[in-house]
Amino acid sequence: MKTIIKSIAALFLLINFGCSTFNEEMQNTDFKNPTIKSQPRLLYPKSARENNYSGKTEVVLLVSKTGAVDDVQVVKSSGFGVLDSASIEFSKDLVFNPATAYGEPVSCRVKWSILYAFSDKISYIESYIQQVKELYSLANNSGNSYRDEILNRIYKLHTEFISDMWDGENFNAAIARVVLPETSREWRYVWDDNPLSFLLYHDFIQRFPDYDSLSVVKDELIKSLKADIKYIERTSIINPGRFQKNQELIMKIRNFIKNTYPQIELNENRGIDFNS
C-alpha cells in the first residue's frame, strides 16, 4: 500500500442515544438509563467510502440486565445495506452498564443513531505526523528529565490519534510514516482498511524500552490488539469476500505477537494478556 493520505477521510458519529419505550410497570419507578461501558472500534466499510455512501442508520437495541446487547433491529435505514449491516455489527459489540429500576438491573430498549459522513481530516493527519517526528528527534537529543516529558507527549499523541481516526486505510498510511522503517517494511503488504493500531505501541516500546510507564504502553498494546482483531473479524462479516484475506492477516498478527512478545498470551477463549 502506498503511504498516500487521501484527500477525504471517513468519519463516524454517534448521536441520539437514550432509552426509548419500557415496560408499562416501569414508567413510575426509580428508573435510571443504561450508560455505555465500552464500545468497539467504529467501522466505515471500504466499499461505502469508495462509492461515497453516506447516511444515518437508526437502530433499537435490547440491552439485557447484564449490559449485553441481546438484539438489534434497524428501524430506519440509511438507504444503503452495507451501512446498515455495519451498524448492526457495531451495535452487537456494545457493552452497557445496565439500566436499573429500584436499584436493580433491568433490561430495556435503547434507540441509537449512527451517522456516516465524510470529513476532510488531512490537516489533522499531517499535523500528527509532523508532531510525532519532531518529538522523536527531541527525545533522541534531550536530557533524562525533559525526555520523560517528551515521551509522555508522544504516547498521548498516539492514543489520541487511534481514538480519533475511524478510517483504517488513511490510518495505516499515516502510521507507516511514523513507525520504524523495519516495521513499515514488515507490514507494507497488508496495509489496507483494517487499522493496525497496535503497531504504534509496538513501535513506541521498540524505540523507548526505558520509558518509566512502559507497563501502561503494554496495556494499551493489548487493548489495541483486541480491538484490531475484533475489527478485522467484523470486516469479514460485513464483506464475506474478504474472509480468507482477513484470516491470513489475523494469523500474521498472532505469529508476530508470539515471536515478538512471548509474554503475551493470545487465547481465543481467554482473551489477550501479558503474563508476568
- pLDDT tens by residue, the chain, 276 residues: 444 444 333 444 443 444 544 444 455 568 888 988 988 877 788 888 888 898 999 999 999 999 999 999 999 999 999 999 999 998 999 999 999 988 899 999 988 888 888 777 788 889 999 999 999 999 988 777 789 899 999 999 999 999 887 667 788 989 999 999 999 999 998 888 788 999 999 999 999 999 999 999 999 999 999 989 988 998 888 888 889 999 999 999 999 999 999 988 766 544 555 553
Separation of first and last alpha carbons in the chain: 37
CATH 3.30.2420.10 domain extents, the chain: 9-22+33-119
Find out whether 26 and 105 touch, Cβ atoms under 8 Å. Answer: no
The pLDDT value recorded for residue 116 is 86
pTM (two decimals): 0.78
The pLDDT value recorded for residue 29 is 63
Partners of residue 57 on adjacent β-strands = 114
For the domain bounded by 9-22+33-119, which CATH number is listed? Answer: 3.30.2420.10
User: Radius of gyration (Cα) for the chain, nearest Å?
Assistant: 21
Find out whether 111 and 31 touch, Cβ atoms under 8 Å. Answer: no
The pLDDT value recorded for residue 239 is 84
Find out whether 98 and 105 touch, Cβ atoms under 8 Å. Answer: yes
Distance, in Å, from the CA atom of 68 to the CA atom of 126, rounded to the nearest integer, reads 38
The pLDDT value recorded for residue 275 is 54
**37: part of which helix (H) or strand (E)?**
strand 35-38
How far, in Å, are 54, 177, 255 from residue 250 at the CA level?
29, 22, 9
Which residue, 119, 153, 118, 110, is CA-closest to 135?
153
